[in-house]
Amino acid sequence: MRLMRLANVNTVSIGIFSWAELEPSEGFYTFDWLDRVFEKLAANGRRIILATPSGGKPNWLAARYPEVRRVNEQGMREPQRGRHNHCITSPIYRKKITEINTLLAQRYGAHPALLLWHIGNEFTGYCYCDLCMAAFRLWLRNKYGTLEKLNHAWWATFWSHRFTSWDQVNCIDPNIHGMILDWRRFMTSQVIDFIAVECEPLRRHAPHIPATTNFIGLIDFDEAYDYSKIAQSMDIASWDSYPFWHNRSPSEGGDASVACDTAFVHDLTRAMKPDRSWLLMETTPSAQNWTPVSRLRRPGMLRLNGLQAVAHGSDSVLYFQWRKSRGGCEKFHGAVVDHAGHEHTRVFQDVTALGAELGKLSSVAGSLIRPRAAVIYDWENRWAIDAALGPRNVNKDYLPTCRAHYREFWRRGVAVDVISSIANLEPYRIVVAPMLYMLRPGVAENIARFVNAGGTFVATYMTGIADENDLCFLGGFPGPLKEVLGIWVEETDVLNDFDRQTVVAGENALELGLSGHYAAQHYVDLLHLRGSEALAYYSDEFVAGRPAVTRNRYGGGIAYYVASRNDAHFLSDFLGGVIREAGIKSAAGLPAFHPLPHGLSMQVRTDGKTDTLFVMNFSDVERQAPIGKGFLNVNGETVPEVVKISGYTTCIFFRTGDTV
């Protein structure tokens, strides 16, 4: 408690993997230790985020009820080990977690120190047991009603896979793409259902306490859920951010590129609940232990990392972990209190300083970010692209492509939401939808409405190929987006990794900012203009002279189609031009055509009266940031229009109506 006070820690998450401590044997509960923790924290003025313990199961539970252990895709039940691996369908697991959550809610729900429920931990992974399969069949029956509809959606006549009884649906066949999509959707909905079971006693006994579950971000793994959907069942969105600082070489963009990828997930998390702040639930105060090479954070990086989350809309900087474990696989993971056990460490001092600073920034809490630009990143679309065989089976790179488009906004200091394809587009002036292969019902209509009303829409190769069941659109690609884009894509050529195509800007593209030659790789569409104009052309091989970039004026807006995967130089010129044309400004309110100096990023949060501008330098050398007129520093002094920001530093400025 003394160390927490010193470190300016005002909020503590507890109980995350404590099931075996709370219920050491079935039905025998030991809350006394947790009572003491509550009392001590409350007596010291700390607020508590109390976790439900479902993220890790006790040995007695796994041994007595094997059904709570997951079954893998090969049909083998997993041994008891690790964590995050309970069967989310198991009625026993649901019953047991309901029992313990009820007791937690009854005991602590009215405690004045309790701030928030933390449901489980980092929900991930699939279970293929009989219980899950039976629930999947039921889910399918509710969705389709008849086998005929299911067979059609799954295109099951192909290879004689027609289902004549629901019981035959008992395996996951990578050749049936509609099935893969439905299985992943089912798993997402099963998690939502499981979370509802967890929340029921909490909401019954403590209706005033909100709940969140901490997402794991976009780490590449196969068995993912659609977090944007799960977030809708929670009161607050939160995630655990573990950037690989100091792990990328200069040619890979160094820490600036780590910062940009991190910002992408911050903005994805924020956009899940755009009308309120989100929470950074975990980040390490020092090094992770599980990265291939876990480098120490350079001076300044702890503050920069924490304030970056705040700049993107988080109302917290919470660390994993408070005290370093002595044993187990996380004993070398960064912690506020190291094995040394005292406050005389670099990390502790950095945490203390940031805590003090956050205390002074409390007026920023609750303020929002209202981007005029959005990039679509869509889990279901990713699943469909991953499942597709062809036209390219390597380097499909959906996520990197979304990130590359996002980056052009980020490095200009332009705020962006990262949204799913079914999100409301009304708040935006620009919507960029890289590789939107799958168009779910209503998405094309929504995009057309958006453009018609004056919006700017950017689409790329691999767009509008299939519907929500991964059935190809008939009548030409990009399916229901043909009209708004004013094109028909007849064929797509895919290049070897060593092949390049050349894209040459037309004269009419100069105004937008495109000029000269650009290199294209991987995907090259062969398209026909159907009302749109070409802004650039290919110049190599048999496609020479065909359109490579098109612009269509549709209603009051503009829809662009970029037909090939072009180099970074193109993306910068093109999206810079689109940003300028749409009149979108940087966070500081300045024109945003040119990127900021390398490593600089800017975000602004506003409560309607005061704008708080965060200018962050993710490079290790001083940079100059253009912020324009009217900003004051924390001491109320006017700052110059171009400010110097040292390496690995964040500067915070304020602007109110009066200072402009």
Residues in touch with ligand GAL (CB under 6 A): 121-122, 216, 240, 242, 282, 288, 320, 330, 333
Q: Provide the token pair at 147.
A: 């086998």
Q: How many CB atoms lie within 10 A of CB 272?
A: 25
Q: Provide the token pair at 227.
A: 């977090």
DSSP string across 279-341: EEEE--SS--SSSSS-PPPPTTHHHHHHHHHHHTTBS----S-SB--SSSTTTTS--SB-TT-
Catalytic annotation present for 223: no
Closest CA to 354 of 312, 402, 305, 387: 305
Q: For residues 253 and 242, what is the distance between their CA atoms, to the nearest angstrom? A: 18
Q: Provide the token pair at 28.
A: 């025998």
Would you mind telling me the total number of residues written for the chain in this entry? 660
Least separation in angstroms between CB 321 and ligand GAL? 7
Closest CA to 92 of 63, 121, 128: 63
Catalytic annotation present for 198: no
Q: For residues 415 and 602, what is the distance between their CA atoms, to the nearest angstrom? A: 8
Q: For residues 616 and 595, what is the distance between their CA atoms, to the nearest angstrom? A: 14
Write the single-letter amino acid at 436: L
Q: Provide the token pair at 381.
A: 């679309």
- Cβ contacts of residue 188 below 8 Å, gap of 6+? 225, 226, 229, 230
**Residue 60 half-sphere exposure toward CB, CA atoms < 13 A:** 11
DSSP string across 109-157: TT-TTEEEEE-SSS------SHHHHHHHHHHHHHHHSSHHHHHHHTTTT
Q: Provide the token pair at 126.
A: 């699939």
Which residue out of 282, 380, 408, 468 is catalytically annotated?
Answer: 282
Q: For residues 156 and 425, what is the distance between their CA atoms, to the nearest angstrom? A: 35
Q: For residues 592 and 652, what is the distance between their CA atoms, to the nearest angstrom? A: 20
Q: For residues 260 and 76, what is the distance between their CA atoms, to the nearest angstrom? A: 40
To which H or E segment does residue 652 belong? Answer: strand 649-656
- Whether 54 and 198 have beta carbons less than 8 Å apart is answered as yes
CA distances from 70 to 48, 52, 81 (A): 31, 19, 11
Question: Residue 549 pairs with which residues in a beta bridge?
Answer: 536, 562
- Cβ contacts of residue 407 below 8 Å, gap of 6+? 257, 260, 571
Write the single-letter amino acid at 189: S
- Asked if the bond preceding 321 is cis, omega within 30° of 0, the reply is yes
What's the order of all strands across the beta sheet hosting 11-14?
A: 11-14, 47-51, 114-118, 211-212
Q: What is the torsion angle, in degrees rounded to the nearest 10, for the CA atoms of residue 553, residue 559, residue 565 and residue 567?
A: 80
Number of H helices, E strands in the chain: 17, 23
Q: Which is nearer to ligand GAL, 240 or 315 (CB)?
A: 240
Residues recognised as catalytic: 122, 282
